[in-house]
Amino acid sequence: MHRNKVIVLFDGYSKTVNSTTTLANCTCTLVKGKNSCIIVDTRTSWDGNEIIDALQNHGINVNDITHVVCTHGHSDHIGCNYLFLKAKEHIVGHAISNKDEYRYTFDNTTTYAIDEGIFIMSTPGHTLDSITLIVENSDLSENSVAICGDLFEKREDIDDETHWTSVGSDDINQQRKNRQIIAEMSGIIIPGHGPKFDVTPEIRSKLKEQERIEKSS
């Protein structure tokens, strides 16, 4: 049976320099499906050569990429989309495009399948059209892997919510709800600005508690 392959090419990071400056770049992930080769979040526009090299280390050429998926449209998540001109689709939030042709077949109420066991779902919060790529049947986990962009900033933001609330959330209540939903349905989370982590029962109950407090306040 085919197993989907998930390879984190770059761990994202975010570091405060001072009150007006932050250093940040996103997690960039390669997913190899049965009939697809997907890159998720393409870092800043200055990272082209590094991305080309990282793909090459896994035997992938930029022209092999069939789908570019950006969890949302911020500059540190879409910067190198220009490398992947043979891709069938560039998906940025809810917008699915090829050259100048835009298709709106995906929204908050639907999911969008890319390949066997690989699909996108809406997880609004950080931005209102933020999305998460779900990879089932992968080499990383018995449960689904969620590549979720800035829905989760990093593992630490579960213990200290200010890590995600302080970097900007267009809808804090929806984001909190979607964080809980994604943790419930996945075994591994690949966050927007930190290394991947296992979803433990403690993490699930903590997120559920945060959602409960939010609802009752």
Which CB, 33 or 192, lies closer to Zn ion?
Answer: 192
Nearest-approach distance from CB 45 to Zn ion, in angstroms: 14
Answer positive or negative: Cα dihedral of 158, 161, 167, 169: positive
Distance from chain centroid for Cα 78: 12
**CB-hemisphere CA count at 13 Å for 194?**
17
Which CB, 77 or 176, lies closer to Zn ion?
Answer: 77
Binding mask 177-196 for Zn ion (x = CB under 5 A): ---------------x----
Amino acid residing at 206: K
Which CB, 45 or 143, lies closer to Zn ion?
Answer: 45
Q: Which two tokens stand for residue 162?
A: 């200010």
Query: Is 166 in contact with 116 (CB distance < 8 Å)?
Result: no
Q: Which stretch binds Zn ion (CB under 5 A): 131-139, 146-154, 168-176, 182-190?
A: 146-154
Nearest-approach distance from CB 215 to Zn ion, in angstroms: 27
Q: Does 41 bind Zn ion (CB under 5 A)?
A: no
Q: Which stretch binds Zn ion (CB under 5 A): 21-29, 42-50, 131-139, 183-191?
A: 21-29
Nearest-approach distance from CB 124 to Zn ion, in angstroms: 15
For strand 144-149 and strand 101-103, is the pairing parallel, antiparallel, or unpaired?
unpaired
Q: Does 150 bind Zn ion (CB under 5 A)?
A: yes
> How far is it, in rounded angstroms, from Cα 82 to Cα 85?
7
Q: Does 153 bind Zn ion (CB under 5 A)?
A: no
Q: Report how many residues bind Zn ion under the rule CB under 5 A.
A: 3
Count Cβ atoms within 10 A of the Cβ of residue 165 and give its class: 0-12 exposed, 13-18 middle, 19 or more buried.
Answer: middle
Chain residues binding Zn ion by CB under 5 A are 26, 150, 192
